[in-house]
Structure 1
């Protein structure tokens, strides 16, 4: 059975009344027994990336991807022009026409931005969020989180393989991985490092890095001012010092001589 729900603990989330009414879909089928041909501990980085590609393919097939002529797709394409190859990463970007104020990036370089985020934030704020998410990929956080999800859920009994190649995940395995990821979160240190990466990402792309702080401020506003409100609860539950993160990014911008945009 498929359920509609907000996805990914490492996504940016909020609450807002939006044109797009659907929410992100994940597959929540339960898994039987995994094959035991190879011990899960031998799961290589290449296997993790291969499984990530399967996962994002499923996500793209089961969520409404904005066509190229959609206004939000055009906007994202314009924002990310020239970023398909960035900092040693091969990136690809798509918009999901769902109401979640949400974005996430996977270990294979896939970056997905929900309509809710684009509708709730300015272009430069969106870029700050994208930079933050890319930071999780560059810092290996996304890969490590996905590996953990694989080893503690779908592949907990082993990795099936043929000729040394990890076998494709079944629908039910993808579902279990999705559920596991939805209940994960990054550490405060990982989030802080991703914040710093997002800040540098804005500077590298000639955008005032104040927008990193402003993006977080916007998320707090969308949460109703509280870290435990609405869709933001998952994001802020392990990071109750979000206001501190806002201040840290603002202080960093001031120290670097940037003025806060009007």
Structure 2
């Protein structure tokens, strides 16, 4: 077991313990046991249904073999090419109607993976940059990050709901009214901290592996720069409605939030770009891919 895997296991265990602790405050030992059973059931449900669950949250549409839009056909074809290059099964490919350029991957394992890109990403990035982004998402699949990220999102959302549930019962639980208020505030904050700790290290690694898959670190660096700039100016409605899934995107989709603060789910974008530039400089002459400089929708 690698150090990163061990740390992820411990953080997920901590999130489950937090879920049980809230259950204990609500209903004593029986409440803690019920919370453990619910957490186990949610993890099992997320394991089997992670792809469809997250994709439905964001209104994603699958790009099928009968797709008529040439840009979407090209996007799906490029994902297939990159998956073969990475030695992965070909994932299902989805598109999300959102002006904000962004993307994510989900699925319980490489054989059941899915990748999704927004229409904003396909419109605003060049083909080489889109390939860089999708290679990053396939790196998450290759590193088996997608299941962990989805389970984390499920538990974080559940902790927030359970904390609100505690407030609803007010003084009728072990914590009392003031304790319920504190729980409502601090329990989701603790869950966010765990989310952040799990996610940030994985983004750096996915950048590195994704750059290797695409064969052009500078394409991903350019994509990150464009996405970061546009994401701060464009609302992602699906992400705002489901903030617990924010850490799954390549760039934080929650509008107006700064990177690298205590609760950030992503590393600072400038740091990511700098690492990719150094990676390109350390490589033998990296030749850009033969892709157009305009987005395929432009």
| TM-score bracket for the superposition, by shorter chain length | 0.5 to 0.7
Give the CA RMSD over aligned residues. 4.1
Matched, 1:121 2:125: yes
Alignment of 1:111-260 (within 5 A): 111-154=115-158, 185=196, 187-203=199-215, 208-222=216-230, 231=255, 233=257, 238=264, 239=266, 241-259=268-286
Residues in 2 aligned to 1:130 and 1:78: alpha-carbon distance in whole angstroms = 11
Q: CA deviation at 1:251?
A: 1.4
Q: Does the 8 A contact of 1:216 with 1:242 survive in 2?
A: yes
Compute the TM-score of the two structures, normalised by the length of structure 2.
0.53
Q: Larger helix proportion, structure 1 or 2?
A: 2
SS in 1 for 2:222: helix
Unaligned regions of 5+ residues in structure 2, if any?
1-33, 163-190, 234-250, 294-298
Residues in 1 aligned to 2:279 and 2:223: alpha-carbon distance in whole angstroms = 15
Q: CA deviation at 1:201?
A: 1.3
Q: 1:260 to 1:146 in 2, by over 3 A?
A: same
Compute the TM-score of the two structures, normalised by the length of structure 1.
0.60
Alignment of 1:49-64 (within 5 A): 49-56=47-54, 58-59=56-57, 62-63=59-60
Q: 1:95 to 1:245 in 2, by over 3 A?
A: same
Determine which structure has greater relative contact order: mean sequence separation of CA pairs < 8 Å that are 6+ residues apart, divided by chain length: 1
Q: CA deviation at 1:116?
A: 0.1
Residue of structure 2 in register with 1:23 after alignment: none
Moved over 6 A (4+): 227-230
Q: Does the 8 A contact of 2:224 with 2:269 survive in 1?
A: yes
Aligned residues: 200
SS in 1 for 2:80: coil
Q: Larger strand proportion, structure 1 or 2?
A: 1
Residues in 1 aligned to 2:220 and 2:97: alpha-carbon distance in whole angstroms = 24
